[in-house]
């Protein structure tokens, strides 16, 4: 995550139960991230994406090749390209999660109370 080698990194330490650390480690490994990078992404509101199996990429590449080799009607080709774009954005690109679900429920007190 540190793209600037001159930038000094800050350190954050926390204590957690061993079973929680193990769970975080497994989740980070599924995303092919270090524990630190996984926690930074989660804290900044991103949903790290689990690394997909190779069979997915084989399928995705074949779908892209199909579009390049088969003579589709313009309408069918547009639908296929739309599907490929949707698969790409939903499964391969990182995205920010809605932080509203992290907010505590409203206490009912107004700011003037």
Taking only the tens of pLDDT, the chain with its 113 residues reads: 556 777 888 899 999 999 999 999 999 998 888 999 999 988 888 888 777 777 777 887 887 787 777 777 888 888 888 887 887 777 766 666 665 555 555 555 555 54
Domain that holds residue 63: 52-94
Structural domain count of the chain: 2
27 and 46 assigned to the same domain? yes
> Is there a domain that residue 112 lies in?
no
> Is there a domain that residue 73 lies in?
yes
Query: How far apart are alpha carbons 71 and 73 in whole angstroms?
Result: 7
Name the pTM for this structure. 0.51
> Is there a domain that residue 42 lies in?
yes
47 and 57 assigned to the same domain? no
Query: How far apart are alpha carbons 31 and 42 in whole angstroms?
Result: 12
62 and 31 assigned to the same domain? no
Compute the residue count for the chain: 113
Query: How far apart are alpha carbons 46 and 70 in whole angstroms?
Result: 37
């Amino acid at each position: 995550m540190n793209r600037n080698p001159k930038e000094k990194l800050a350190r954050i330490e926390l204590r957690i139960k061993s079973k929680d650390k193990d769970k975080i480690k497994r989740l980070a490994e599924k995303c092919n991230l270090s524990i630190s990078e996984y926690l930074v992404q989660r804290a900044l509101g991103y949903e790290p994406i689990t690394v997909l199996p190779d069979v997915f990429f084989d399928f995705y590449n074949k779908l892209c090749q199909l579009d390049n080799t088969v003579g589709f009607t313009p309408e069918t080709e547009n639908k296929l390209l739309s599907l490929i774009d949707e698969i790409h954005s939903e499964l391969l690109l990182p995205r920010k999660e809605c932080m509203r679900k992290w907010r505590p429920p409203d206490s009912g007190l107004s700011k003037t109370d």
